[in-house]
C-alpha cells in the first residue's frame, strides 16, 4: 500500500507569476522513446536509487522536491504536441512499503514498474520513498524527459534543498540535436542491421528483469572492461556495443536535465583485450563520432502512432530472429559522491540506476562509480530463465573487474567516519567536472558566448569584458599562427601581472602552443637561459621588460602592439584559430623550477591536467560570476595558474596586481575593494599580520607554496573570519598546481595545518624507502598519481625517468620528496623533506643550484647553502656559508651578491652570506649541513612582533626610534663589527652619517628589521647587503610608511623610491622621504 504526497509548492507554475514557462521541443531521440513507450511491455523509465542510513521525512522530501523542481524545470514537464512544457506542478512523492524490495533482483514494490509520460499532459517524473531500512529514495523519470545524467542532476538538487543549500539549477532548454548542430555534426551513423547476438544466449521472450551487482574498488577503463567481457559472452566472432556519450562534454557550461546523450557503436571482436577496446573507444571520442545523426531523425518526422508502429515492427523482427542492432548498451553515468545525496539524519551509502528495458537491444547495463565501489545493474528481456542468465553475465563481468565473489551490498569500512569539509566540497555537483577531452580554451569561449559583456579583467581604470579579452587574445593567437607557430611549440611570455600579459597567455593557448611564463624581475641572463632551454622562437613581452629578452635568440613581439586596443583577428586568422584549437594531450605550459645540478628544469603540463584543476578547484575558490580573484603570484610561480584560469572559466574576473608586491598593495589586496578572492603564501599571511593589515570582504582565501603552521593558520582563520572559505592547497609543480586540499578550520592540536585529501582524478601513496605503504600515523614519501601528472621535464629524459616512476600496480607516479603522514581522519600532514630542497617565500629552491652559482665565481672555493628561520617572524631565509679561495683578498659580499643577481632570480640570492675557513663534514666526508649555525640565533625578535599575537589585538606600535635594541649573534659578512661597550664614547659622526629627524627614524627602522645597530649605518649602507630579503624590505617600507602623512603619500614614496631590488641604500630611502615631505 502506498501513500501519495503532493510536493509542497507545486501549482500554477511560473507563468502565473509573470514569467514565461520553461519549454523546449521534443528532440528526435525523445520522440523515439515516446514511440517505444506506446508498445506493450516496455518500461521506458530511468530510476536512480539512493540507499543509506537514517530517516528522511516524507513532508520534508516533498518540500525539497518542490524547491528543486523550480530550479530543475525538466522535472515538471508535460508534453503538448511536439513541445515539453513546464506545467508548474512539482513531481509527486509516493511513500511505499520497502520491506518487499529485493535489492539484488530489484523486484517487489509495484511502483517500480509504473509507466510515466504515457500521454499528453501526463507527468514525466516522480519520487518514491520506501519505508524501512535501509532508507531508500527512488527518483523516477521517463527516458523521454531525461537521461541518466539528468536524473542524477535532479536528485542532487533535491538533496541540496533538503540540506538547506541554495540551488544550482539546471534550466538550459538545450536538446541533443540542438547541441549537435551548435558544435558541428560529423555526418550520419551507418545503418545497422539485425545481425548481433545476445550475450545472454537462450531463447527470446517477453519477460523483463533487472539484476544488480556491487564490485569493490575503482576500475579505470570501466566501460571498456565491461564491453570486452560482454563480447566474450556473445557466441560468434564478437559483439557490437552501444555506448551512450554525454554531449555535455561539448558544452561544459551546459546545465540541463534533458536527454543529451547520443551513441557510439563499437564492434568488439571476441577475445580483444580491455586495453584495445579502451583505445578504440578513445579514438571514437577523439573523432567525435557521437556527433552524428541517426535513424531517430527520420523517425521523428512521423506522427507518434506511425513511429510507434515502426518501432513495434522492428522489435517483432528482432525477437523473431533473436538478432539485434547491438548486443548490449553499456552506459556509464560517471562518478557520484554519496555526500551529494545525504542530508540531515540520512547518510547515503550507495547510489545505483535501473536502466530502461530497451525495445531493440537485449541487454542494457548501467554503471555508477562510487568512491569505494562500482554499482552495475543489468536490464534484460528473455525467456523464463533470463534472470539466471543475467547473473551469469554479471559473474563474467565481475571476474573481468577482478571481483573475487559477488557482493550484494557495497563494502563497509571498518571504522566509518564523516566526510571532511574538503571531501564534501570535492563531491562533484550536478554539472559534474569538466570532461577531460577538451581544454580551458573551450571553457573560456563558452563563457565568452554566455556573458560577452561581463567583466573579465578589472583594476583601477581597467575593465576588459570577456569579449574584449577574447578579441585581444584572438589577435595574439592569429599573429603567432601567421608567424608559423606550431602545435605544442613553446612561446615565452615576459610580462608582469597585467591585462596584456593575460591576453598573451590566452593567445598562446588559442594558437595551440604552450606558454612559458617568465618573471620580469628575473635578470636578463636568467631570462635568456630559460628561453633558450625551452627552445622558444618567439617571446611576447611588454615594452617595459622587452630588453631582458635581448640576446636570447628569440623574436620579441610587443604585447602592447599585438594585443593593443585595435587588435583583432581577421577572417583568415579566425579560420586558422579554429584549426589550431588545442586538445587534451597538447602541451599547455612549461614552468621552470630550481634544479639541484645548477640548471633549472622545465616542467611540461598538458591541457588535460589543467582542465582537471579548473574543475575541482572551483568550489574551493567559490568561483562564480561574483568572483574577483587577485592575480598576485609571480606568473612564473605555478600557483598563479590558480589565479588566472578558474575565475575566467566560471564567469568571474581577474584583478591583476602589477609591480612589486609592497605593503601598500598588500593592504589593497586585503581591503576587498577590488578583489574578494586571495591566494597567498603562509609567509605573506604572517607578514600581513605583523604589519597590522586586517582583511575585509574577502570570501575565499587559498594558502599554498609552503608549510602552513598551526599558529599561522589559527591567526589567519581568526583574521579572515567565518564567512571566508580558507583552504590549504598542496602540490608540486609536477602535479599541476595542487593535488591535495584541506579546508582550514579551528585548531587541530597538530604542529601544522593538514594538506588535506587528494583531489579529483588523482590519488596518493605514502611509501617507505622500499616502496611499501606505511601505516597511518607514520611518515613516508608522498607519491602522486593521476591525470594531473606532468608529461615530464622538457628535454631532460634522465630526470624524468628518475622522478616519474611506476608503482607495483602499474600506475605512473611522481616522487615528491616530501614526507607526509596520514592522520586518523584520512587527511595528510606535511612532515618535511627527504632531501635538501627548501621553500623560500613559496618558491622551490634547490641549494645545489645556488651553490653551483657561488662556486662558479673565481673568489669562492666552496659553498654550502641552507635555509634558516629568522627569529620572531619564523620566515625561512636562504643562508650561504662560503670558503674563499686561498690567498684571496677580503671577502667582497657586495660583489658576490651583485654577481649572483645578474644570473639568479631574487629568491635564489642568499639573504645572509658568511665567510668561513672551512665547512663541517660528516664521517663520510660530505658537508654536514646540520652543523652549520643559524646566523639569526641570538638576534632579538623585532619589536611588537610576538610569535603568536592575540587575534583580537590591533597592530603593535613600532618601537620608538630612540629605543635601544642591542644586537647579538653572528653578523652577515661585511656588516660592521659591533661596538665595544668599553671603548668609551663614539667619535663624532661623519658628514654622511644619518643625523636626527628622518635619517635617524629610518636608521632605527633598519636596525630593528635587520637586527643591527643604528649607529653602524650610514647613507651608503645597502639593505640587501646587510641581509634584507624581499619580505624584510616590505616590513621596512611599511614602518617608514607610518612616518608619512596619508595613504596616498606611501604610494608616492614608493614611486619616487623606484626599484626595490637594486642598490637600496639608506641614503636613497632618506632622500625619497625628505623629498616627499618637502613637496619637491
Per-residue pLDDT of 848-859, as tens digits, reads 778 878 888 888
All three cell numbers of 940: 632579538
Residue 828 lies in a domain: no
In this structure, is residue 978 part of a structural domain?
Answer: no
The verdict on residue 954 lying in a domain is no
Contact between residue 332 and residue 369 where contact means Cβ atoms under 8 Å apart: yes
CA 656 distance to own-chain centroid: 20
Give the chain's largest Cα–Cα span: 116
- The pLDDT assigned to 119 comes to 77
First-to-final CA distance of the chain = 91
CATH of the domain at 857: 3.30.300.30
- Domain range for 892: 846-931
818/852 same-domain check: no
Give the DSSP letter of residue 807: -
For the cut 90, the answer to whether the pLDDT of residue 919 exceeds it is no
Shared-domain flag, residues 893 and 806: no
Let me know if residue 853 belongs to a domain: yes
- Where residue 561 sits, what CATH number does that domain have? 3.40.50.12780
Average pLDDT over residues 366-378: 92
The residue length of the chain stands at: 1080
783 and 915 in a single domain? The answer is no
- Residue 890, exposed/middle/buried by CB under 10 A (0-12, 13-18, 19+)? exposed
CB 199 within 8 A of CB 234: yes
Band (968; pLDDT cuts 50, 70, 90): very low
859 and 811, same domain (yes or no): no
- Would you say residue 429 lies in a domain? no
pLDDT in tens, 233-272: 998 888 999 999 988 877 766 788 998 899 999 999 988 8
Average predicted confidence (pLDDT) for the chain: 83
Q: 99 and 13, same structural domain? A: yes
Comparing 219 with 135, the larger pLDDT belongs to: 135
Residues 200 and 262 in one domain: yes
Say yes or no: 817 and 853 in one domain.
Answer: no
Q: Single out the residue in 784, 807, 822 at which a domain terminates.
A: 822
List of long-range contacts for 180-188, beta carbons under 8 Å, 24+ apart: 180/247, 180/262, 180/291, 180/293, 182/251, 183/247, 183/250, 183/251, 183/291, 184/291, 185/291, 185/292, 185/293, 186/287, 186/288, 186/289, 186/291, 186/292, 187/292, 187/293, 188/292, 188/293, 188/294
Residues 373 and 485 in one domain: no
Most confident range (mean pLDDT) of 351-365, 498-512, 801-815 is 498-512
pLDDT of residue 747: 67
Q: Given a cut of 80, is residue 21 above it in pLDDT?
A: no
CATH number, domain with residue 999: 1.10.1200.10
Q: Is the pLDDT of residue 924 over 60?
A: no
Residues 573 and 468 in one domain: yes
**Does residue 950 belong to any structural domain of this protein?**
no
220-253 b/e with 16+ CB inside 10 Å = b?
ebbbbbbbbbbbbbbeeebbbbbbbbbbbbbbbb
How confident is the model over 897-918, as pLDDT tens digits? 888 888 888 778 888 888 888 8
Let me know whether 802 and 861 are in one domain.
Answer: no
Is the confidence at residue 407, as pLDDT, over 50?
no
pLDDT value at residue 940: 44
Least confident of 152-166, 345-359, 915-929: 915-929
Place of cell 672551512: 918
Which of the 8 DSSP states describes residue 336?
-
User: Is the pLDDT assigned to residue 870 strictly greater than 80?
Assistant: no
Tell me: the pLDDT tens digits for 1020-1060?
A: 887 776 767 666 777 777 777 776 555 566 667 767 776 65
199 and 317 co-located in one domain: yes
DSSP 3-state of 465:
strand
Query: Are 809 and 851 contained in the same domain?
Result: no
Picking from 931, 952, 976, the residue at the C-terminal end of a domain is: 931
| Domain end marker among 342, 370, 400 | 400
Mean pLDDT (whole number) for 395-412: 60
Nearest to 386 by CA among 432, 456, 438, 322: 322
| Structural domains of the chain, count | 4
User: Average pLDDT, stretch 560-582?
Assistant: 91
Residue 963 included in any domain:
no
pLDDT in the model for residue 1023: 77
Q: What is the mean pLDDT of residues 525-547?
A: 94
50, 668, 677, 742, 934 from 724: Cα distances, Å: 32, 17, 9, 14, 37
* Cα–Cα distance measured from residue 355 to residue 329, given in angstroms and rounded to the nearest whole number: 10
* pLDDT surpasses 90 at 454: yes
pLDDT of res. 618: 93
Instruction: Name which of 117-126, 309-318, 692-701 the model is least confident about.
Output: 117-126
- On whether residue 601 sits in a domain, the answer given is yes
Q: What is the model's pLDDT at position 967? A: 31
**Lowest mean pLDDT segment, chosen from 68-72, 121-125, 347-351, 754-758:** 121-125
Residue 432 has a pLDDT of 61
Nearest alpha-carbon partner for 151 in 142, 161, 160: 142
The answer to whether residues 186 and 291 touch, using CB atoms and an 8 Å cutoff, is yes
Using the predicted structure, report yes or no on whether residue 6 has a pLDDT greater than 60.
no
Residue 297: per-residue pLDDT: 85
Is residue 447 within 8 Å of residue 648, measured between CB atoms? Answer: yes
Beta bridge partners of residue 140, listed in sequence order: 47, 126
Amino acid at each position: 500500500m502506498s501513500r501519495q504526497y503532493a510536493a509542497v509548492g507545486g501549482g500554477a507554475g511560473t507563468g502565473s507569476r509573470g514569467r514565461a514557462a520553461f519549454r523546449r521541443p521534443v528532440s528526435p531521440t525523445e520522440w523515439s522513446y515516446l514511440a517505444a513507450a506506446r508498445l506493450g511491455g516496455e518500461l521506458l523509465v530511468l530510476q536512480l536509487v539512493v540507499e543509506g542510513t537514517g530517516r528522511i521525512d516524507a513532508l520534508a522530501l516533498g518540500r525539497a522536491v518542490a524547491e528543486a523542481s523550480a530550479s530543475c524545470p525538466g522535472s515538471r514537464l508535460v508534453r503538448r504536441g511536439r513541445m515539453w512544457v513546464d506545467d508548474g506542478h512539482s513531481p509527486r512523492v509516493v511513500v511505499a512499503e520497502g520491506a518487499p524490495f529485493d535489492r539484488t533482483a530489484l523486484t517487489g514494490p509495484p511502483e517500480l514498474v509504473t509507466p510515466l509520460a504515457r500521454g499528453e499532459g501526463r507527468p514525466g517524473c516522480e519520487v518514491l520513498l520506501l519505508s524501512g531500512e535501509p532508507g531508500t529514495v527512488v527518483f523516477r523519470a521517463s527516458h523521454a524527459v531525461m537521461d541518466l545524467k539528468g536524473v542524477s542532476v535532479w536528485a542532487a538538487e533535491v538533496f541540496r534543498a533538503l540540506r538547506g543549500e541554495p540551488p544550482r539549477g539546471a534550466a538550459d532548454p538545450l536538446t541533443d540535436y540542438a547541441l549537435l548542430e551548435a558544435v558541428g555534426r560529423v555526418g550520419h551513423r551507418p545503418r545497422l542491421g539485425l545481425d548481433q547476438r545476445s550475450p545472454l544466449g537462450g531463447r527470446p521472450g517477453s519477460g523483463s528483469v533487472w539484476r544488480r551487482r556491487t564490485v569493490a574498488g575503482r576500475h579505470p577503463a570501466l566501460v571498456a572492461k565491461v564491453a570486452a567481457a560482454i563480447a566474450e559472452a556473445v557466441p560468434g566472432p564478437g559483439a557490437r556495443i552501444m555506448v551512450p556519450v554525454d554531449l555535455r562534454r561539448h558544452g561544459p557550461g551546459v546545465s540541463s536535465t534533458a536527454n543529451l546523450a547520443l551513441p557510439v557503436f563499437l564492434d568488439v571482436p571476441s577475445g580483444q583485450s580491455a586495453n584495445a577496446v579502451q583505445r578504440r573507444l578513445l579514438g571514437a571520442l577523439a573523432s567525435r563520432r557521437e556527433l552524428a545523426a541517426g535513424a531517430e531523425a527520420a523517425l521523428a518526422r512521423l506522427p507518434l502512432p506511425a513511429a510507434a508502429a515502426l518501432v513495434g515492427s522492428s522489435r517483432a523482427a528482432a525477437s523473431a530472429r533473436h538478432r539485434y542492432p547491438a548486443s548490449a548498451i553499456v552506459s556509464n553515468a560517471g562518478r557520484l559522491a554519496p555526500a551529494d545525496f545525504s542530508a540531515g539524519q540520512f547518510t547515503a551509502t550507495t547510489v545505483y540506476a535501473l536502466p530502461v528495458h530497451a525495445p531493440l537491444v537485449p541487454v542494457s547495463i548501467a554503471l555508477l562509480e562510487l568512491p569505494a565501489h562500482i554499482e552495475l545493474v543489468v536490464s534484460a528481456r528473455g525467456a523464463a530463465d533470463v534472470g539466471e542468465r543475467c547473473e551469469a553475465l554479471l559473474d563474467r563481468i565481475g571476474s573481468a573487474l577482478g571481483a573475487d565473489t559477488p557482493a550484494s551490498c557495497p563494502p563497509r569500512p571498518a571504522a566509518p567516519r564523516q566526510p571532511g569539509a574538503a571531501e564534501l566540497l570535492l563531491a562533484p555537483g550536478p554539472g559534474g567536472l569538466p570532461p577531460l577531452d577538451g581544454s580551458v580554451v573551450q571553457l573560456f569561449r563558452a563563457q565568452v558566448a554566455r556573458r560577452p559583456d561581463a567583466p573579465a579583467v578589472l583594476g583601477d581604470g581597467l575593465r576588459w569584458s570577456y569579449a574584449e579579452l577574447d578579441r585581444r587574445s584572438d589577435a595574439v593567437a592569429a599573429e603567432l599562427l601567421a608567424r608559423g607557430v606550431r602545435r605544442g611549440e613553446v612561446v615565452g611570455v615576459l610580462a608582469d601581472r597585467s591585462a596584456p600579459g593575460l591576453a598573451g597567455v590566452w593567445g598562446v593557448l588559442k594558437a595551440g602552443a604552450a606558454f612559458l611564463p617568465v618573471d620580469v624581475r628575473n635578470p636578463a641572463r636568467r631570462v635568456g637561459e630559460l628561453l633558450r632551454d625551452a627552445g622558444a622562437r618567439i617571446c611576447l613581452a611588454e615594452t617595459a621588460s622587452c630588453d631582458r629578452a635581448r640576446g636570447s635568440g628569440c623574436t620579441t613581439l610587443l604585447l602592447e602592439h599585438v594585443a593593443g586596443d585595435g587588435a583583432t583577428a581577421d577572417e583568415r586568422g579566425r579560420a586558422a584559430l579554429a584549426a589550431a584549437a588545442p586538445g587534451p594531450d597538447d602541451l599547455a605550459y612549461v614552468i621552470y623550477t630550481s634544479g639541484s645540478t645548477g640548471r633549472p628544469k622545465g616542467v611540461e603540463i598538458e591541457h588535460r591536467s589543467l582542465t582537471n584543476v579548473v574543475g575541482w578547484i572551483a568550489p574551493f575558490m567559490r568561483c562564480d560570476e561574483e568572483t574577483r580573484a587577485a592575480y598576485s603570484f609571480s606568473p612564473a610561480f605555478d600557483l598563479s595558474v590558480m589565479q588566472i584560469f578558474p575565475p575566467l572559466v566560471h564567469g568571474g574576473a581577474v584583478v591583476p596586481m602589477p609591480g612589486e608586491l609592497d605593503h601598500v598593495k598588500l593592504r589593497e589586496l586585503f581591503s576587498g575593494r577590488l578583489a574578494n578572492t586571495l591566494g597567498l603564501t603562509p609567509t605573506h599571511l604572517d607578514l600581513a599580520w605583523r604589519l597590522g593589515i586586517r582583511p575585509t570582504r574577502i570570501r575565499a582565501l587559498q594558502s599554498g607554496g609552503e608549510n602552513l603552521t598551526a599558529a599561522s593558520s589559527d591567526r589567519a582563520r581568526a583574521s579572515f573570519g567565518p564567512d571566508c572559505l580558507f583552504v590549504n592547497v598542496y602540490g608540486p609543480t609536477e602535479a599541476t598546481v595542487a593535488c591535495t586540499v584541506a579546508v582550514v578550520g579551528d585548531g587541530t592540536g597538530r604542529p601544522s595545518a593538514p594538506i588535506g585529501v587528494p583531489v579529483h582524478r588523482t590519488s596518493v601513496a605514502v611509501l617507505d624507502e622500499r616502496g611499501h605503504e606505511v601505516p597511518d600515523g607514520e611518515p613516508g614519501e608522498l607519491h602522486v598519481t593521476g591525470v594531473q601528472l606532468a608529461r615530464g621535464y622538457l628535454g631532460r629524459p634522465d630526470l624524468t625517468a628518475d622522478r616519474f616512476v611506476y608503482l607495483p600496480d602499474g600506475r605512473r607516479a611522481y616522487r615528491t620528496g616530501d614526507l607526509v603522514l596520514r592522520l586518523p581522519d584520512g587527511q595528510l600532514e606535511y612532515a618535511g623533506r627527504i632531501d635538501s630542497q627548501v621553500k623560500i617565500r613559496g618558491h622551490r629552491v634547490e641549494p645545489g643550484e645556488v651553490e653551483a652559482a657561488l662556486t662558479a665565481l673565481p673568489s669562492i672555493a666552496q659553498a654550502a647553502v641552507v635555509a634558516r628561520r629568522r627569529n620572531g617572524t619564523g620566515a625561512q631565509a636562504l643562508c650561504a656559508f662560503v670558503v674563499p679561495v686561498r690567498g684571496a683578498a677580503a671577502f667582497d659580499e657586495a660583489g658576490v651578491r651583485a654577481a649572483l643577481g645578474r644570473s639568479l632570480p631574487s629568491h635564489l640570492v642568499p639573504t645572509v652570506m658568511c665567510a668561513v675557513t672551512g665547512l663541517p663534514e660528516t664521517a663520510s666526508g660530505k658537508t654536514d649541513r646540520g652543523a652549520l649555525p643559524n646566523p639569526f640565533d641570538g638576534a632579538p625578535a623585532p619589536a611588537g612582533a610576538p610569535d603568536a599575537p592575540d587575534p583580537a589585538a590591533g597592530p603593535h606600535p613600532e618601537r620608538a626610534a630612540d629605543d635601544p635594541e642591542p644586537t647579538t649573534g653572528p653578523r652577515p659578512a661585511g656588516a660592521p663589527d659591533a661596538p665595544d661597550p668599553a671603548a668609551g664614547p663614539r667619535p663624532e659622526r661623519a658628514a654622511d652619517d644619518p643625523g636626527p629627524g628622518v635619517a635617524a627614524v629610518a636608521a632605527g627602522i633598519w636596525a630593528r628589521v635587520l637586527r643591527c645597530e643604528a649607529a653602524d649605518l650610514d647613507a651608503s649602507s645597502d639593505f640587501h647587503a646587510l641581509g634584507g630579503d624581499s619580505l624584510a624590505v616590505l616590513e621596512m617600507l611599511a614602518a617608514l610608511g607610518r612616518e608619512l602623512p596619508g595613504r596616498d603619500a606611501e604610494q608616492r614614496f614608493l614611486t619616487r623610491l623606484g626599484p626595490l631590488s637594486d642598490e637600496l641604500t639608506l641614503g636613497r630611502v632618506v632622500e625619497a622621504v625628505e623629498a616627499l615631505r618637502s613637496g619637491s
